[in-house]
Structure 1
Amino acid sequence: MKPKLLLTLLLSVATFYIGVAQTVKTLATFEVSIRGLSVVNDRVIWVSGTHGAIGISRDSGNTFKWISVRGFEETDFRDIEAFDETTAVIMGTGEPAYILRTADAGETWEAVFVDKTKGMFLDAMEFWNENSGIVIGDPIDQKFFIGRTFNGGITWRGIPPENYPVADDGEACFAASGTNICKINNKEVVFVTGGKKSRLFIRDKKIDIPFTTDSASIGANSVAAKNSKMYIVVGGNYLAKDSTSNNCFITKEAGNKWIVPKTPPSGYRSCVEYIEKKQWVTCGFNGVDITNDDGMNWKRISDEGYNVCRKSKSGDAVFFAGDGKIGKLIF
C-alpha cells in the first residue's frame, strides 16, 4: 500500500473515533429512587434504594430481579456493596441505622449492625476487598462515627470513640450516592464533608476544600481517586441543580493543593467515578459529564439525571442509577 494512501486511511479512522460521542443509554425504569449501586463485573449489578428495594441484574442491566426486604419496606438503603451474584451488604441510614447482609441473592437478610442512638445516620460504605470494609456516619456530639468489618460485613464494630474524627459546627456528610468515602490504596481511605465546612479527611489530616460554605446544602458530595495522591471531589449546592459554581475540585497532591477545572461539570454533582487513564465521569440531577483530561475540562453527554455512577470492579462497564432509572455509559 502506498504511504500516502495509508496515511489517508489512518487519518480517516482517527477522525471517526474522535467523532464517536459517549452517551448514557437508559436500561430500565421503575418507581424507586436509587442511590446505592455496586457493579461486581460487566454482568452482575446490584442496586438499593427507597421502600426497602433491592435490584439484581445478571445480564448487564438488561433485566432486573426486584426484592423488597421484608420488615424494612420503609427503609431507604442508600449504599450497597456486592461481592458476587449472591452476597451483598446494604446500608440503611437511620434512625435506627442498619446494615444487612445476604448470602442467598436477597432471599433472606441478616441484620449485622443495628444502632438506635439518637442522631445516628450512616452515609456511606467502602470496601478494600471482600473482607475489609468501613462505614462512616454523621457527627454525634461533634464526632463522625466510623465502623469497621474484617469478615466481609458479617460483623461490624465501631472504632474506639476517642479515635472518631472531630467535626466542626455545621459539618456533616451527604448520603447522596454512597461515595463520599473512597479507598486510595490497599490500606487507607479518604472521606469528604460539606455543609458549613467542607473538608477532606485523610489519616489524621483535615484539609479544607474550597467549596462555598454559607449553606447546609453546599459542599462535597463525592470523592474518587486515581491513585494515593490524585482525587477529584464533586458537589455544589443540591438546591441549585444547574449551578456550575464551586462544584468540582481536583488535587494531584493528596489535598495539599486544589485545582479548579477550566470547564466545570454542568451543574450540582452527587457522584464522581474514575474510569481509566485520564477519563472520569460525574452525574447529578440535571445530567452526566465526562472528562478525558483528568478533570480540567468536562463535557455534558446526557441530560438524564442520575444519583450515582460506578465502574465495574473487574471489567470496563460503567453504570448509573437514579430516581426511577438505570443507565449505562455507551462509547
Structure 2
Amino acid sequence: MQKFIKSLLLLHSVFFFHFSQAYAQQKPVIKLLETPPIASIRGMSVVNDSIVWVSGTGGQAGLTTDGGRHWQWIKVPDHDSMDWRSLQAFSSQQALLLNAGSPAHVMRTTDGGKTWKKVYEDTTKGIFFDDIVFLDDNRGWAIGDPIPPDAKFALINTYDGGKTWVKSQHYLLAEPGEALFAASGTNLVAQYYENKIVGGMVTGGKVSRFIYDYNIVVLPITQGSPSKGAFSLAFERDGQKGVIVGGDYLHDKDTTRNCVYTNDYGKTWNLSVTSPGGYRSCVVHVSGDLFLATGTSGTDISRDGGVHWEKISDEGFNVAGVSPNGKKIWLAGSRKLGIIELP
C-alpha cells in the first residue's frame, strides 16, 4: 500500500509539474476595454493595479481608478490642439502632461484633472519634446529633439515633482540626422537599483544610439532614414538585462533588425534571434525575463530577455505599461485600450 501511495504521489507531482509548465507557457490574452474618445493615445502612466492615466490628441487625457472598468475623459482647457504624448502620474490626483510640438507645455494637476496649471513653457522655434521620466517622486527629466543650429538635444529637469522646471546645462550633441521618437514616451529610462541609477536613452534616424551619461553605443538596430531606428527601451529592475525595440514605422510589418537586447547593462547590444513581428513602438519589462512589445502591426512577448519573440496578437497599440506587481499589462493606441491580466 505504501508503494502504491508513493506511486500516486509521484504521478501527481509529475502531472502538476507539466501542467504548471504548460500553463506558464500559455499566450497572454489581450482584453479590449471601452473605446476612448481620444483619436491617438501615446502617453501612459501606471500608478498601480487600479489607477492608470493615458493621454493623446485633442488636448485630452484619461483616468481610471477602478482597474479599467470605468474611465474619466478629461480635456485640458484652452489646449484643444495639444498632442499630449508624454505623461507622468503619481496618484489619482497628481499628474503631469507634456506635449509634442511647439510651443512646448508641461501641465500639472493636483485634483484628478479638474484643474490644470502650466508649470513650463518653451517657445523656442523647432522645440519638440519626446519623453518625460521620473527617477522618484521629486527628480525628473524631459528630453526633446536636437535644436538647430547647434544640434543639441533639448533637456529640462525638475527636483520638486514637476512643480518647477529648468533647462539643463548638460546638453548632448546629436549626430547629423539623429533624433528621438515620440511614439510612446518610452525612449528614456531612469530607475534606482541598490543606490545606483539604471537607464539611458535611445535615438533613431540617420544613426541609432544607446546613450547613458556620456557612454555611447551605436546600435545594430535598423537605421539610416528618418522613419527608422530605436523607439523604446526597457530594463529589468537591476538593469543588467534590457531590450530595445523599433524598426521602420513606414513599413510596420518589416522585421529587419527591429529588436536588440543586452545582458551587461547596455555595454553591448545583440540582435534578437527571433524578432518581434514588425515595427514596435514600445517595449516594457513585465517580470523576470518576460518582456512585451507592441506596435501598429501587433503585440509580442519574449520569455528570455528579448532573445526570442512570440506574437500573441494582431491587435496593435502605441504604448504599454505594467502595474508595479507585474500582474497587469495595460495597452493603448488609436481609439483603443486593452489589458492583459497575468496569473
Q: What is the TM-score when the length of structure 1 is the normalising length?
A: 0.96
Of structures 1 and 2, the one scoring higher in RCO (CA 8 A, sep 6+) is 1
Tell me the residue number matched to 1:217.
227
> AA paired with 2:208?
S
> AA paired with 1:323?
S
3-state SS of the aligned residue for 1:175? coil
> AA paired with 1:65?
Q
Tell me the residue number matched to 2:60.
53
Distance 2:8 2:17 in 1: 14
Among 154, 161, 173, the alignment partner of 1:152 is 161
For the 8 Å contact 2:242–2:305, the answer to whether it is kept is no
Q: Please give the residue correspondences for 1:152-301 in structure 2 after superposition, counting only pairs within 5 Å.
A: 152-160=161-169, 163-185=170-192, 186-187=196-197, 189-226=199-236, 227-301=238-312
- Matching of residue 87 in structure 1 with residue 98 in structure 2: no
User: What is the CA-CA distance between 1:2 and the residue it aligns to?
Assistant: 1.9
Tell me the residue number matched to 1:138.
145
Instruction: Name whichever of 2-11 and 200-209 sits farther off.
Output: 2-11
User: What is the CA-CA distance between 1:6 and the residue it aligns to?
Assistant: 2.3
- Matching of residue 5 in structure 1 with residue 16 in structure 2: no
User: What is the CA-CA distance between 1:118 and the residue it aligns to?
Assistant: 0.4
Q: Please give the residue correspondences for 1:67-82 in structure 2 after superposition, counting only pairs within 5 Å.
A: 67-82=74-89
User: What is the CA-CA distance between 1:109 and the residue it aligns to?
Assistant: 0.5
User: What is the CA-CA distance between 1:248 and the residue it aligns to?
Assistant: 0.3
User: What is the CA-CA distance between 1:215 and the residue it aligns to?
Assistant: 1.3
For the 8 Å contact 2:102–2:123, the answer to whether it is kept is yes
- Matching of residue 304 in structure 1 with residue 340 in structure 2: no
Tell me the residue number matched to 2:336.
325
C-alpha RMSD of matched pairs (Å): 1.5
Deviation string 1:235-281 (CA, Å, 9 cap, x unpaired) is 00001111111110011123332222121111100000011111111
For the 8 Å contact 1:217–1:237, the answer to whether it is kept is yes
For the 8 Å contact 1:274–1:280, the answer to whether it is kept is yes
For the 8 Å contact 2:220–2:271, the answer to whether it is kept is no
Distance 2:242 2:75 in 1: 36
- Choose 1 or 2 for highest CA Rg: 2
- Matching of residue 27 in structure 1 with residue 33 in structure 2: yes
Q: Please give the residue correspondences for 1:36-51 in structure 2 after superposition, counting only pairs within 5 Å.
A: 36-51=43-58
Distance 1:82 1:140 in 2: 28
User: What is the CA-CA distance between 1:8 and the residue it aligns to?
Assistant: 2.6
For structure 2, the 5+ residue unaligned runs are none
For the 8 Å contact 2:241–2:305, the answer to whether it is kept is no
3-state SS of the aligned residue for 2:36? strand
3-state SS of the aligned residue for 1:214? coil
For structure 1, the 5+ residue unaligned runs are none
> AA paired with 1:267?
G
User: What is the CA-CA distance between 1:92 and the residue it aligns to?
Assistant: 0.7
Go from structure 1 to structure 2 and tell me whether the alpha carbon gap of 1:314 and 1:228 turns closer, same or farther (over 3 Å shift).
Answer: same
User: What is the CA-CA distance between 1:25 and the residue it aligns to?
Assistant: 0.8
Deviation string 1:68-105 (CA, Å, 9 cap, x unpaired) is 11111110000111101100001111210111000000
> AA paired with 1:10?
S
Tell me the residue number matched to 1:123.
130
